[in-house]
Every structure is written in structure tokens, then in C-alpha cells.
Amino acid sequence: MDADTMWRVLKCPFKGDGAIKWDKFSVDNYMKNPDQYDGVLPISKMNDPLYVQMCVPNETASYMGTAGRTDVEPKGRTNASNLYELTDRYFNALSIGAIYTNPEREIPDDAQITLCFGKIRLAARTKDSDGWFLADEADPMPKNIYPLPWQLENDSNPVKAYAIDPALITQVDDHYEIKLTGADLKGKNFNDERVTGSILHFWGKFFNFEKGSDVLGVAASYTVWVKEPEWSGKLTATIGTDIRGEGGYCQQAFTGINFEVTDQPRVIYGHNVGPKRYDEVMDSQKVCKLMGIE
């Protein structure tokens, strides 16, 4: 079905043995993950937010991909993917998050934007653990603005990320607030014509393990909102998990969909447990509780 129909169907309770699928779902198979999602969402999983998020299109647009609407021709990364298999090449993992502008919305350069961040979390299940557990919980505190396209940082004449003034990062109750401008989030402050945008990037802490094959699954989340209602719906949040090995080798276990940033706290989340192993490995109720997903 088309994207608009899929979003409508997901608002309705269903029972049965059938399935639905977004007709433009794109499988990222270049990394040859043996347990990759194909977009088929069984009706029996329609009330499971962790399974649903691996089958639906992006909520909104970003530099990385278009929004999941019927009137939009899909380009770039348009849905979540469990990417690289966790093999023995890897010995740690960490949550990663990013905030982009939504290219379908206008934000003036002088816009005063306050982004609020709750905890960033990583849950995991290993062969030896008693089910899923919270492997890491930290305050993300984004500190740097990175240029887009990504390749500019490694160019022969590189454009480097710049640090956010620490005075603009404050702790308020149980979260951190970061004051930015529209120019920060649009890449205008790099003063380089090669820069087409920018990204606010941040990470959790490392979860270390001896063998990647001992890790049955990972899930990540963080909470974000924008303080000013006028910027609600004009920013995009993404989530993933880096997995790393010797010599700085780094890939992603999964990347989530594009979530819309609103003026209300939202949990941005995703995981790498594929459909073949899902019922055996995933405990959706427990993982949702660990991640703060209601």
C-alpha cells in the first residue's frame, strides 16, 4: 500500500494472519545482512512499536532521505534498516543520534532554537545475559556541529566541525538544553560554499564485549524536543548504533527512520533484531520499558 494508506491503517486495531507493506520500502542489502527487514509488517506485530518502526517509511525528511508520503518520490534512505551483522570483528557498540533540519520546512538563519535532550540509552541482550538489560545510559550533551556533505571533513581542503560554545549548553532539571541558531543547523556558519547543510551529532558511551557474535541484539533511544513551538515539525531526529573493531573499523548495526522533532518530548528509537530471529530474541515489552517508550 502507499505511505498515506499505511499510516492510516496503523491507527486502527486489526486482528488476523495477514500483513501489510509500504510499496516503496527499500532493502539496504549491500552489507549482506542475513536477517534483513523487507518491509512486510504482519498484522500480529502492528501493536509492537519496535517491529513497526523497522517497516514504516520516514515520518519526515532530512539530508539523508525523503519523507514517507504518497506525494513524495522516495530518495535516499527512506526507511529503517538493520545493517551490518554483529560478528566477531566487533568488540563494542554505542548509541548515536543526529538532528537535521527538515528540507521541506523553512527556518530563518536568525531563528533562536532551544533543543532539549533527555537520556541516550543502549539496551542489549547477550547469550549469557538473563534477557535484555540496560547496557548504557548517559546524557548526550551534543557539543559539535558537523558539515554536510560528510566527505568535506576528509577533503584535501577539509571543512572541520566546530564546537558549540559551552555557555550555550545548560542542565535544566533532568535534561540538557542547547541554544542554537537557524544558521548553525543549516550549515551557514561554516562560510564555505561547498557546505550544503549541517548536522548536530552525538553519542552515548561504549558497551564493550569480547565477541560480537555473543550479542544477540542491541536497541538504542534518546529523548528530544524543541522548546519553541514555532520550530516544532521543522527539525528531524535519527538514531542508530555504531559497532567498532580493530584499527578504528566502524559500521552501523542499524539505522532508524527519520522522526519529527516536536515541542513535546519524544523518544527516538530503533534496534537491530531481524525478522527471522525476532520472536526468539526480542522482548518488546521489556525493551520498550528500558528505552522509555510508552
| The three three-digit cell numbers of residue 33, written as one number | 545482512
> Residues 6 or more apart from 129 whose CB is under 8 A from it?
none
Contact 258, 64 (CB under 8 A): yes
List the domain range (segments joined by +) for residue 284.
83-291
Is the residue at 200 inside a domain? yes
Is the residue at 255 inside a domain? yes
pLDDT of the chain, 294 residues: tens digit per residue:
999 999 999 998 788 889 999 999 999 767 778 999 999 999 999 999 999 999 999 999 999 999 999 999 999 999 999 999 999 999 999 999 999 999 999 999 999 999 999 999 999 999 999 999 999 999 988 889 999 999 999 999 999 999 999 999 999 999 999 999 999 999 999 999 999 999 999 999 999 999 999 999 999 999 999 999 999 999 999 999 999 999 999 999 999 999 999 999 999 999 999 999 999 999 999 999 999 998
Q: pLDDT value at position 15?
A: 83
The count of structural domains within the chain is 1
Strand partners, 95: 241
Is the residue at 153 inside a domain? yes
Is the residue at 277 inside a domain? yes
CA angle 8, 9, 12 (to 5 degrees): 100
pTM (predicted TM-score): 0.96
Number of Cβ within 10 Å of residue 201's Cβ equals 18
CA angle 176, 180, 185 (to 5 degrees): 115
Is the residue at 40 inside a domain? no
| The three three-digit cell numbers of residue 234, written as one number | 521543522
Is the residue at 36 inside a domain? no
Is the residue at 30 inside a domain? no
Q: What is the enclosing helix (H) or strand (E) of 187?
A: none
Is the residue at 29 inside a domain? no
